[in-house]
Amino acid sequence: MADDPTDQQEPKLRKLQNPTGIHDILPDDHEYYTFIKKVVRHRCRQAGFRRITTPILEFTDVFERGIGGATDIVDKEMYTFLDKGDRSVTLKPEGTAGVIRSYLQHGMKELPQPVELYYIEPHFRYDRPQKGRYRQFWQFGVEVIGEKDPALDAQVIDLAYRINEDLGIAHLFSIQLNNIGCGKCRTKYKEDLVNFYIGKERSLCSDCQNRLEKNPLRLLDCKKEDCQILAELAPKFEQYRCPECQDFHAKLKEFLDELGIKYVDNPRIVRGLDYYVGTVFEFWDTNQGAQNAIGGGGRYDGLAELMGGQPTPGVGFAAGIERIIANMKRENVKVPSKDDIHIFVAQLGDDAKKKCLPLMNKLRDRGIKTVGALGKGSMKAQLRLADKFNVPYTLIMGITEVREGVVIVRDMSKGQQRPVPIEEIVEEVVKLIGEENLDKYSPGEAIY
RNA sequence: GUGACUAUAGCUCAGUUGGUUAGAGCGUCCGGUUGUGGUCCGGAAGGCCGUGGGUUCAAGCCCCACUAGUCACCCCA
């Protein structure tokens, strides 16, 4: 300030902006989010799933133990920081770990099993952004916890597929299906896999040399040419799958066939999270493959134990909303706009303006989406604005109308108008708009 | 985390080998006689040329760093 000599030069205010990869959702895109959320809510509710919201922030352990330290998500993509008590906390990078934490913490094993939950939440991963990848992104997902049966896996895949269908993008994706085995068969397989690679380490890329120690299964889906050649020669998991897993997988495929859902049996898909066992699946872009997977999931029977709970089976699915929107736009899927305005109210003179405010309230209470030109001056400016809103009807009130107790109703497409008594105007507008088009909001449904 | 490319008005973009007050279209706002929209016409507002340094008599333009964006790799949604 003036008496502070060190502060003579006004510091320039920097324009504020979003952190890398974290974006505003502007009104036009919100119409997609609203629509997708609605589809997800309805499909999940119909199937008996109930909604859960776990916190955006969890103690880092929840993810480190749940997702697994050898995964890319935990290894390099977590949005982790210390809170004021020096506890390490992390913005959730995925949904399942938090849901299982919540299931255990709230004793949901006492509920009728399986517990079927869904969520629609923002998630965070500290990645370099690119197409379809952001540091904050939305996912919806479902979890079926507490029971194990291939029919449940089939139901989850079916639900995911139907949601994609409702969104108009199901045909763009193929379902890649695999069974990566239970603890028993996988342990044996891992051993043999590691043995296979002994002495061949130098042919592997540096990432894969790492994987060999931490997560040998990932060796199989490395895209480097040399690694792929070795992966082809490596022992195949199919031969190690125990009879139980074999049977489970076969049944799942029968159920999917029964549901009429097409899938590709793909032994190469592994998934990037440690908690998966048995069934895994991904929805792949039929043109671009895994690079633009829209969602995926699988069975995570060991997860509850990793998090300190009793052994609890589970199967789930999650999909990325931004990627869905990108595909809906690519397919030119139009979503219904909930924001279309029914009625524009134009007014001239303070007396008319006074009458307009309560009139607009009455219209809105009836479910008529109404905007007024409360700050505009001339009738021309107001009608121009009405035109921008693309309203079918404009109500006009001036001093004359106030005196006569009428409101002028102007049909914008025909350019015709007529006076209507002010006490009849709300129902008259309802007739014009159509009862079925009203934006109904019913606090009356609640029981006080 | 690695690499490539990019950054001028709200949006899409011009801007000459570095040379005066920074340009267009769209959009926004206001007008085109009394209280009537879309088309048309006129006008205005809106830019520290992403930020900070450097080179130069002179930088939107050249150099460096940072920030952000786009795309790819890694991996995933």
Would you call A203 exposed, middle or buried from its count of C-beta atoms within 10 A (0-12, 13-18, 19+)? Answer: middle
Class of domain A343-441: alpha beta
Range name among A268-272, A364-368, A411-415 with the lowest pLDDT average: A268-272
Alpha carbon distances (Å) from A266 to A46, A190, A237? 30, 19, 11
Longest dimension (CA), chain A: 97
pLDDT at A86 over 80: yes
* Three-class secondary structure of residue A79 per DSSP: strand
**Any strand B atom closer than 7 Å to A415 CB:** yes
* Three-class secondary structure of residue A421 per DSSP: strand
Q: How far is Cα A75 from Cα A134, in angstroms, rounded to an integer?
A: 17
Q: How far is Cα A281 from Cα A174, in angstroms, rounded to an integer?
A: 10
Select, from the ranges A197-206, A373-382, A424-433, the one with the highest average predicted confidence (pLDDT): A424-433
| Residue A9 confidence (pLDDT) | 38
**Any strand B atom closer than 7 Å to A355 CB:** no
**Could you give the residue range(s) of every CATH 3.40.50.800 domain in chain A?**
343-441
Q: How far is Cα A235 from Cα A193, in angstroms, rounded to an integer?
A: 6
How would you classify the pairing of strands A314-320 and A136-145? antiparallel
**Any strand B atom closer than 7 Å to A133 CB:** yes
- Chain B positions with an atom below 7 A of a protein C-beta are 1-3, 28-32, 35-38, 48, 50-52, 67-77
The ipTM (two decimal places) reads: 0.87
Tell me the average pLDDT across A215-234: 74
CB A21 within 8 A of CB A91: no
Instruction: Extract the tokens encoding A160.
Output: 């995911």
| Residue A251 confidence (pLDDT) | 96
Q: Which CATH number fits domain A27-182+242-330: 3.30.930.10, 3.40.50.300, 3.40.50.2300, 3.20.20.240?
A: 3.30.930.10
**Could you give the residue range(s) of every CATH 3.30.930.10 domain in chain A?**
27-182+242-330
Alpha carbon distances (Å) from A178 to A48, A63, A435? 26, 24, 50
Q: In this predicted model, what pLDDT tens digit does every residue of A331-372 receive, in sequence order?
A: 889 898 888 999 999 999 889 999 999 999 999 999 999 999
- Displacement of CA A161 from its chain's centroid (Å): 15
CB A97 within 8 A of CB A145: no
Whole-structure pTM value: 0.90
Instruction: Extract the tokens encoding A336.
Output: 């219904």
